[in-house]
Amino acid sequence: MNTDELTTLTSNKIVDARGTACPGPLLAAKKAIGEINSGEIMEIYSSDEGTKNDIPRWCQKMSHEFLGIVEEPSYSRLFLRKA
Amino acid sequence: MDLLLNEQLEELKKRFDNLEKGTKDQISVVVFSGDLDKLLAAMIIATGAAAYDMKVKMFFTFWGTAALRDPRKSVKGKDFMGTMFGWMLPRGSGKVKLSKMNMCGMGTAMIKGIMKKNNVASLDELIKIAGEMGVEIALCEMSMNLMGFKREEMIDYPHMTVCGVATFLSDAAESKVQLFI
């Protein structure tokens, strides 16, 4: 999805992992994904550059659908749909 | 002819079953080092793998075992050597040092400061998270005996056992990833 499409999404869950370093955002995502249902959308805030590579790979492994990234001035918003 | 085909089919089935049972989505990590930096690497990989829904088995041996001592616990009845080792080796994850640039503890203190500033989880926190995520820790019995450590002086960890090399080997043989740190 492109940025415009992503920003119109309403997330069922927002995980704010800004400020934490590896493996913080990944562990936060893992914890939070258990709290939503299949097909729901989760959004992860991260200021850690590596997360942008890590979360898509993690989604692939866990068969969640990675939807895309929206860049904000000091952090990124990563969207995914739970499998 | 049919008989031969059936036989071959059976053989193939058997092999396939063995393959399926062969490797699990599992990682085995030997933690040999007792250095802060290497322990951090081991715990980050372990918790990361747990987030990947992999089964994680850690084997603490030699210097690694000292990092799992609980500084609040003390045990009586150690022999002279055990007492000496206990006194010389670090008492738990808060006391381990960097493998390089320790500089009489200055380097270790500095890296801990920087880690805090960058919000990197401490070794202690990572061990706690690992416990919550179901990471299994096995302690090498031989190392514990050598260093005079007793099970009672180790941290309260939800999935901790004492084992020997055979346990490691059988788990490692079933793992997709094996690491020695």
Q: What is the pLDDT of residues B59-88, one digit of tens each?
A: 999 999 999 999 998 888 888 888 888 888
Indicate whether A22 pLDDT > 90.
no
Contacts of A21 in chain B (CB under 8 A): 118-120
Tell me, yes or no, if B2 comes closer than 8 A to chain A by beta carbon. Answer: no
In this prediction the ipTM stands at 0.77
**Separation in Å, CA of A19 to nearest CA in chain B:** 6
Inside any domain, residue B9: no
CB contact under 8 A, A21 and B119: yes
Assigned domain for B69 exists: yes
Q: What's the CA gap between B50 and B42, in Å, rounded?
A: 12
β-pair partners for A70? A77
Assess if residue B22 is contained within a domain. no
Q: Is B53 on the interface with A (CB under 8 A)?
A: yes
Residues 27-46 (B) with a CB less than 8 A from some CB of A: 44
pLDDT tens-digit series, residues B112-143:
999 988 888 999 999 999 999 999 999 999 99
For residues A22-38, average pLDDT:
93
Instruction: Please compute the mean of the pLDDT values over residues A63-73 and round it to a whole number.
Output: 94
**Domain containing B49 — which CATH number?**
3.40.1260.10
Number of domains in chain B: 1
User: Is B156 part of any domain?
Assistant: yes
- In chain B, what's the furthest Cα-to-Cα distance? 78
Q: Is residue B19 assigned to a domain?
A: no
Q: Is residue B43 part of a domain?
A: yes
The boundaries of the domain holding residue B125 are 30-180
Cβ-contact A46, A76 below 8 angstroms: yes
Residues in CB range of B19: below 8 A, 6 or more apart: none
Are B96 and B66 spatial neighbours (Cβ–Cβ below 8 Å)? yes
Q: What is the distance in angstroms between the Cα of A62 and the nearest Cα belonging to chain B?
A: 7
How far does the CA of residue A17 sit from the closest CA of chain B (Å)? 10
pTM value > 0.95: no
